[in-house]
Every structure is written in C-alpha cells, then in structure tokens.
Amino acid sequence: MDLIILSVPGETSYALPAAPAILKSYVIDAGYTCKTFDFNILFKKTNIFNFSNLENYFIQGFNPELIEQAENLIEGWVKEIIKYKPKFIGISVFTYQNRNATEIFCKFLKKYSDSKIILGGQGISDGGIEGKKVWVNSLYNRGLIDYWIVSEGEKAIVELLSGNTDYTGINGDNFLQNIDLDNALMPNYDDYNLLSYRNRLPITGSRGCVRQCTFCDIHEHWKYVYRSGKSIADEIIYLSQKHNIQTFSFTDSLVNGSIKEFKKFIKIIADYNLTADKPIQWTGQYIVRRDTNNDLEYWKLLKDSGASWLAIGVETGSDTVRLHMKKKFTNADLDVTIQRLLEFNIACEILLIVGYPTETEKDFQDTLEMFNRYLPFKSIIQNIAAGSSLGVLPNTFLYNKSDLLNLILDEKNENNWLNKDNPTLTLRERLNRIKILTEHCKNLGYTIRDNNNIIFLEKNLNLLEKRMKFLKIKSNFIEQG
C-alpha cells in the first residue's frame, strides 16, 4: 500500500471526514494505492469501557491516569494498520482536539513500522489556521513524524508520494491554493460504512469567505473561490444516486457567499426534487443578506431545494458590536430572515460570540433581549451555540490591530486577552456572561449546545488570571518607556 490516511479520536461530531476521501481520489488518480480509516467513528461506535472519560482525555488531555488505556487502544489499531505495509501513513489532524490521539498514533507507528508519517489539517497550526507551527515542528524535531502538509493537500500529497519533498506546502508555512474548484475530483468514500455517519455526506462549494469579520482568519488564509452552482448540484446528485444518500452537509464558511451561483444551485436541486423519489436535503452555514430577504421566490426555491437547517453567525444582539465585527447586517435584517425561516419552515442554529472586546453590559443585555424577542420563532430556532470565550487568532483584524484597539494579548492562550478600553470585560466576566446567557435561554425553552472548551478555561482560570496580571504590568511598563 502506498498510502493509508487516518482520522483519529478527538472529534465530538459524527460527521464523515471529507479530507481523507478527497485526498484518496487524487492519490488513486495519480496511479498510487490508498486506503482510509476513521478511528474516530470506530471509537464512538465500539462499546469501550470508560468511554466518556476517555473521550475527554483525547479532546482536552484531562485524566492523565487514562493514558495507559488510550495507548493500549491505539497500539492495537496501529498493529492492524501496519499489516498493509504502507510506505506512507497520513493523519488528518482536523482540530487541536485530535492532537493527543495523533501523538499516541505517531509513537506506536514509529515503534512498529518504517512507514513515513505525514500530518495535515487545521489542527497542526497553533491558534487558528493562520497560526504558527510550534506543535507540529516539535513532533518533527522529536522524530515522531517525517512530513507535514499545510492546508490544501490534494496536489502536495501526490508530489510527496512521487518524491518531490520540496513542493510548496510540504514542511513549510505556505501553500499553493487551487482556484479551479469546478474541476476538482469527486471524493472517494468506498472505505466508509456510511450508515455510521447517519447517512449524511459532506459537500464543499467554496473555500475562503466573502466576508472579512474582524475575529476570523479564514479570509486571510484563502482567497475566496467558489464553484458554479451547477457543479455543486451535479456532485450532490451523483453522490446521492451512487450511495443512496439524500442528506448533505456543506463545509463552506458560507453557502450563500456567491449569491448568483447559490441561486443557480438551489434552482437545479429544487427542480430535481420535484420528480425525485427521494428528495435531497442539505444543511450549511448561512449569512444574513438583505438583498434576498424580501425575495419570496428565492425563499421558496431555498425550501424546495431541501434546505433543512442553516447555521447563522448572528454573534450578538447588539448592532453596535456587530458593526464593529464587520458582519454587514443589522438586527432589522436578521428579524426579516428569521421571519422568512418561520414562513418556509426552515430550521436554524444561532451562533454567538459572547464577550467581544467592545461588548458592554448594555450590549450583552441586547443579546439576552434578542432571545426574548424571538420566542414566537422558537420552533425553527433548534439550537443556540453560545460559544467559548472569543479567541484572538493570529492574522485576524483583532490580532493585527491589537495595539490600535488597546488589546493586551496572551500569545500562549488565544482566549486570555484584555481590552484596556473595556477593562471589566475580563476572562472571568466573559465566562460568567456565557453562563448567564445559557441559563437565560434554557429558561426560555431554547436548546443550548454544550462547549467543552468552557470546562478547560474554568479549570485553568486562576492560572490564566495570574498570567494576565503579569502581562498587564508588562504592558504598562512598556507604555511608560
């Protein structure tokens, strides 16, 4: 076997990992052999003793007494993998939550095989997709891995297999972006039992983002490129018919980034659904757009295309805060969108950022009041993601303009920052506001998504506060010359 690609424990989701299936298509197309394994879903689907605690260990590193159990589990998996005698083994580090399992895999892969180990995925970066590569470099220097691939890996992985280790994107900080998504290869899901993923397939219609929100690094990492509406619809219909799957989840930052192509997509799928025995449904992240809010034909097509659930980055109930974020819509625009969702019975999830640097107590009260106002729409607001404390990620507007914005940043923890112009908005206060919002929404009857990162931050709060006190003294010292 030329290449085996692994997904590893640490994911809380049951979503099918798209990256290994996409990479497999390119590897096979280039004439190499490839197989994919999803040990995250295997972990979830197996009746493992102490599962909940072991999952928390993989995600956050808590309960070090579970190291032996985690290592025994992964050692057994490694012994199965090496029977294929792969020349290369790739591990998809989707987020930082996959790091603990990744390190254990690397340890035993190096112990039992001579395979070259490759890491890829957003989780190899520290503090967002634009962050430094401290963790992955440490694994390389310790001899646990041989290569890492930055961002898009479709071409880089093939170049690496062919022996071109100098290709841009391999063991560096830069990568070459593919701007022709319409001619991308179809993902290969042949190694997956799709029933394990609740009969749902991922779909990608764009990379990057048409918005430039101050807290986000996506638009700095990728130039915004998108596929034609027809190519997206063609892939969905093809995969639906091949795998007998009718439900798809978009991985895009925004499904309606290019409104022109998005309208083409929903028209094609709406027409297909009219005569299909098994109509298609899809979910994705959606931006509020005032230019479509009053277009009832658009909303009917959206419904008929199978839009069943939209995640909306509302972020706040304060127009003032959202304006600073550069979200480009108001509460009035949002009100119309929520009204349309109710009229056409399309469910949504509201995504929030509690404790943005400029958020005052009045702004926070506006967010609480928003959910009072939306009680008549509770039937279509299926979930509220209150989020974690805002992390100031490298190469975002907040990060790059931190001096201008009077932010004190902690380079060791993206969540640990202070706005000198809003000094009462400490990390402790931000976590407290998340608790208040959570209880407020639960009392109103909404469903709130849990967030493991809150547990981590509260566990380390005293330590983080001591560090912020030191950073504040240091900042004042520098200002005074």
Does residue 349 belong to any structural domain of this protein?
yes
What CATH number is attached to the domain comprising 280?
Answer: 3.80.30.20
Residue scoring higher pLDDT (218 or 374): 374
**Please, what is the angle between helix 452-459 and helix 51-60, to 10°?**
70
Burial of residue 271 (number of CB atoms within 10 Å: 0-12, 13-18, 19+): middle
In the chain, the number of structural domains is 2
Grade residue 130 by pLDDT with cuts at 50, 70 and 90.
Answer: confident
Residue 476, pLDDT > 90, answer no
Does residue 293 belong to any structural domain of this protein?
yes
CA distance 158 to 164: 9
396, amino acid identity: T
Structure tokens at 123: 């989780």
Structure tokens at 208: 């990057």
For 395-441, write each residue's pLDDT tens digit. Answer: 999 999 999 999 999 988 899 999 999 999 999 999 999 999 999 99
Which pLDDT does position 314 carry in this prediction?
Answer: 97
Residue scoring higher pLDDT (63 or 470): 470
Does residue 192 belong to any structural domain of this protein?
no
Instruction: Tell me: do 287 and 428 sit in the same domain.
Output: yes
Q: What is the mean pLDDT of the chain?
A: 94
Structure tokens at 263: 């309208």
Residue scoring higher pLDDT (200 or 62): 200
Structure tokens at 90: 């790739």
Instruction: Tell me: do 151 and 16 sit in the same domain.
Output: yes
Instruction: Tell me: do 259 and 135 sit in the same domain.
Output: no
CA distance 252 to 211: 12
Which pLDDT does position 59 carry in this prediction?
Answer: 84
Instruction: Tell me: do 222 and 140 sit in the same domain.
Output: no
Which pLDDT does position 219 carry in this prediction?
Answer: 87
In degrees to the nearest 10, what's the CA dihedral of 226, 258, 320, 251? -40
For 79-111, write each residue's pLDDT tens digit. Answer: 999 999 999 999 999 988 899 999 999 999 999
Which pLDDT does position 455 carry in this prediction?
Answer: 77
CA distance 301 to 266: 6
Q: Which residues pair with 306 in a beta bridge?
A: none
Does residue 166 belong to any structural domain of this protein?
no
Q: Which residues pair with 36 in a beta bridge?
A: 5
CA distance 403 to 226: 34
Domain that holds residue 50: 3-161
Does residue 174 belong to any structural domain of this protein?
no
Instruction: Tell me: do 203 and 157 sit in the same domain.
Output: no
Residue 481, pLDDT > 70, answer no
Least confident among 49-63, 165-179, 328-342 = 49-63
For 207-239, write each residue's pLDDT tens digit. Answer: 999 999 999 999 888 899 999 999 999 999 999
Does residue 422 belong to any structural domain of this protein?
yes
CA distance 254 to 481: 45
399, amino acid identity: Y
Q: Global pTM?
A: 0.90
Instruction: Tell me: do 154 and 208 sit in the same domain.
Output: no
CA distance 163 to 477: 52
Does residue 420 belong to any structural domain of this protein?
yes
Does residue 170 belong to any structural domain of this protein?
no
Kindly give, in sequence order, each residue whose CB lies less than 8 Å from that of residue 320, ignoring residues fewer than 6 positions away. 358, 363
Which of 17-21, 220-224, 300-304 is the most confident on average? Answer: 300-304
Instruction: Tell me: do 141 and 224 sit in the same domain.
Output: no
Instruction: Tell me: do 211 and 117 sit in the same domain.
Output: no
Grade residue 64 by pLDDT with cuts at 50, 70 and 90.
Answer: confident
Instruction: Tell me: do 340 and 396 sit in the same domain.
Output: yes
CA distance 354 to 336: 23
Which pLDDT does position 474 carry in this prediction?
Answer: 87
Residue 21, pLDDT > 90, answer yes
Instruction: Tell me: do 451 and 402 sit in the same domain.
Output: yes
For 341-370, write each residue's pLDDT tens digit. Answer: 999 999 999 999 999 999 999 999 999 999
Residue 478, pLDDT > 80, answer no
Instruction: Tell me: do 133 and 231 sit in the same domain.
Output: no
Instruction: Tell me: do 111 and 228 sit in the same domain.
Output: no
What CATH number is attached to the domain comprising 108?
Answer: 3.40.50.280
Query: Looking at residues 280-305, what average pLDDT do you find?
Result: 96
Query: Looking at residues 272-280, what average pLDDT do you find?
Result: 96
